[in-house]
Structure 1
Amino acid sequence: MSGKTKQSQKLLLFRLSGERLLGLGTLKIREILPFQPLTKLPHSHHAVIGTATFRGSAVPVIDMAAAVGYPPLSREEREKASIIVTDIQRQEIGFLVRSVQQIVEVDWRKVMPPPKALGHNAFVTGLLDMDGTIIQLLDVELLLARVYPETLEPQDVVLTDVERETLRTQNILLVDDSQVARKQLCDVLDSKGIQYQVTANGDQAFQTLLRDYELGKPIDILVSDIEMPGLDGYELAFNIRDNASLKQPFIILHTSLNSEMSLSYANQVGANEALTKFDADELLHAMLRGAEQSSH
């Protein structure tokens, strides 16, 4: 692969309430459907309003406005609404939104991290200024964690004593812009007593790699999200591979997208492995393969 990584990405813009525009990467989206009658699900979260039929399968539909704290759409509003069918974290989920606006192509490097003042409960991973209009990029992982809290329960993975000690010898760096994804990654390693460092974006991660290399403690294993504001996972991997002076870590790119295209592109930019979030067993065993490679 030559030259810079491809940084443009398409975003679907939509509205939940008022004039505020939100964005969702189109790689996550399978289809946009007009509202259809839904089958109610008993004992479900208040934001899960039923299931829709999509290509012969029942797909749960979440009223996105209700899930993030806005008033739910009324029966009349639903009739004019759309269902965005997404493929995220190994499952198809529909999101009911008030109105779909357009698809735009954006430069991912121009996405700004959200201000810290928004706090931990903001469902926003980034902000984008498009001709004076601020687009909020939705933190779908946080939204799903609120609707399905059981998905955050730590998965127990059995490691042998040798495997656990092998990982404890590694200098591990985790990077993800979603606080939910960072917690899942940290919980897995904490449960095994494995040390690591963690950053919230690719720029911080690259600076950490450079710093640790200069200190004589180079990063052995990097686990990075793909979709992040600023330096995304693809460009982070590319920049690392493009830097001949760095000791090259084993790179695992991690994505909530069930997309063959995103995984194949991860290999093109120099990632050793690409995994779909979130499976603790897959992750730890990919890290063990990295530890084995770094010892050779």
Structure 2
Amino acid sequence: MTSTTKQLQKLLLFHLSGTRLFGIGTLKIREILPFRPLARLPHSHPAIAGAISFRGSSVPVIDMAAAVGYPQLTPEELNTASIIITDVQRQEIGFVVRGVQQIIEADWKKVKAPPAALGDRAFITGLLDIDGDIIQLLDLELLLANVYPESLETPDVALTDVQSETLKALNILLVDDSRVARKQLCDALDTKDISYQVTSNGDDALQSLVDNNDNQAPIDILVSDIEMPGLDGYELAFNVRDNSALKQPYIILHTSLNSEMSLSYANQVGADEALTKFDADELLQAMLRGAHQSG
């Protein structure tokens, strides 16, 4: 892998309103179904359209347009709508969309970060230009956090005094392009008064690693998301391992996908561990393993 290597990922493109195209990675998708009647879920969030039976389980279905601020689908639109069953953060969630267009193979390195002018509540993680069409890649973590605010709550993790002091002595760098995921990572450490640095993309993370190394305060633990625009977690790990001038950190990659392929490839590019996010206890235990290895 080099800095010019294409990072290809398949994206499902669909419409929520008008002709504007949105996309999500197909690795997050379990199945695409034609719309069918849903069971009502009383007292639920307004964007929750109901529930569907999927492979023996009841799966909540979210009207994706309503969840991001567009009008809800009308009964007429539902006749031609689709339900996308996704696997995100260890749970199956369905999303109703107005129209599925196609699946494309896109170079992840060409995804650009959304402009800051969109604000903190923009539900996109990146923009991709495909033959003049601007595809908006949806931030499913932020969308789910808007519908299920309780998902942002970080459970307290029990650590011994020795474990806490071990982690406090480390230089830790967190990397994630999703604001929700960054908050979860930061909260897990803040509750234990563990200091850290944080960036929102791989390029800034790599520069931070170099700067810290030059300042004689090298990063001990690197925790990075895998699916990021630009320099993704795989390539970040590879670049770190390929830089002989860096004191090598313990690398923990994490992903919102329950994908054995994603986790296996993380090891191939030099990561010490790969986790399916987000579990605060698993994260802290992985950091402790890194501390013991570097110690």
- What TM-score results when the alignment is normalised by the length of structure 2? 0.98
Corresponding residue number in structure 2 for 1:98: 98
| One-letter identity of the residue aligned with 2:190 | D
SS of residue in 2 equivalent to 1:52 = strand
| One-letter identity of the residue aligned with 1:265 | Y
Deviation at 1:6, TM superposition (A): 5.5
Question: Matches of 2:47 and 2:267 in 1, distance apart?
Answer: 37
SS of residue in 1 equivalent to 2:174 = strand
| One-letter identity of the residue aligned with 1:74 | T
Corresponding residue number in structure 2 for 1:234: 234
Q: Per-residue displacement from partner, 1:53-90 (whole Å, max 9, x unpaired)?
A: 21222111000001001100011111110001100000
Question: Matches of 1:263 and 1:6 in 2, distance apart?
Answer: 19
Gapped runs of 5+ residues in structure 2?
Answer: none
Corresponding residue number in structure 1 for 2:202: 202
Question: Matches of 2:117 and 2:15 in 1, distance apart?
Answer: 23
| One-letter identity of the residue aligned with 1:260 | E
Corresponding residue number in structure 2 for 1:141: 141
Question: Matches of 1:6 and 1:149 in 2, distance apart?
Answer: 36
| One-letter identity of the residue aligned with 1:247 | K
Counterpart contact for 2:250–2:271, Cα < 8 Å: yes
- State yes or no: 1:16 paired with 2:19: no
Question: Matches of 2:37 and 2:150 in 1, distance apart?
Answer: 27
1:250-269 paired onto structure 2 within 5 Å: 250-269=250-269
SS of residue in 1 equivalent to 2:204 = helix
Question: Matches of 1:37 and 1:154 in 2, distance apart?
Answer: 34
Corresponding residue number in structure 2 for 1:155: 155
Corresponding residue number in structure 2 for 1:45: 45
1:112-191 paired onto structure 2 within 5 Å: 112-191=112-191
Q: How many residues align?
A: 294
Counterpart contact for 2:87–2:258, Cα < 8 Å: yes
Q: Per-residue displacement from partner, 1:192-231 (whole Å, max 9, x unpaired)?
A: 0100000000000000001111111110000000000100
1:44-123 paired onto structure 2 within 5 Å: 44-123=44-123
Question: Matches of 1:82 and 1:56 in 2, distance apart?
Answer: 20
SS of residue in 2 equivalent to 1:69 = coil
Corresponding residue number in structure 2 for 1:211: 211
Structure 1 stretches of at least 4 aligned residues deviating more than 3 Å after TM superposition: 2-6
Question: Matches of 2:265 and 2:79 in 1, distance apart?
Answer: 39
| One-letter identity of the residue aligned with 1:68 | V
SS of residue in 2 equivalent to 1:186 = helix
Question: Matches of 2:49 and 2:204 in 1, distance apart?
Answer: 39
Question: Matches of 1:155 and 1:269 in 2, distance apart?
Answer: 31
Deviation at 1:3, TM superposition (A): 5.7
Question: Matches of 2:89 and 2:79 in 1, distance apart?
Answer: 28
1:250-289 paired onto structure 2 within 5 Å: 250-289=250-289
Cα RMSD of the aligned pairs, angstroms, is: 1.0
Q: Per-residue displacement from partner, 1:178-204 (whole Å, max 9, x unpaired)?
A: 000001111111110100000000000
Q: Per-residue displacement from partner, 1:246-273 (whole Å, max 9, x unpaired)?
A: 1110011111111111111111111111
Question: Matches of 2:147 and 2:125 in 1, distance apart?
Answer: 18
SS of residue in 1 equivalent to 2:237 = helix
Question: Matches of 1:189 and 1:27 in 2, distance apart?
Answer: 29
SS of residue in 2 equivalent to 1:77 = helix
SS of residue in 2 equivalent to 1:228 = coil
Which range is displaced more, 50-59 or 15-24? 50-59
SS of residue in 2 equivalent to 1:93 = strand
Question: Matches of 1:260 and 1:40 in 2, distance apart?
Answer: 34
SS of residue in 2 equivalent to 1:241 = helix
Corresponding residue number in structure 2 for 1:221: 221
| One-letter identity of the residue aligned with 1:37 | P
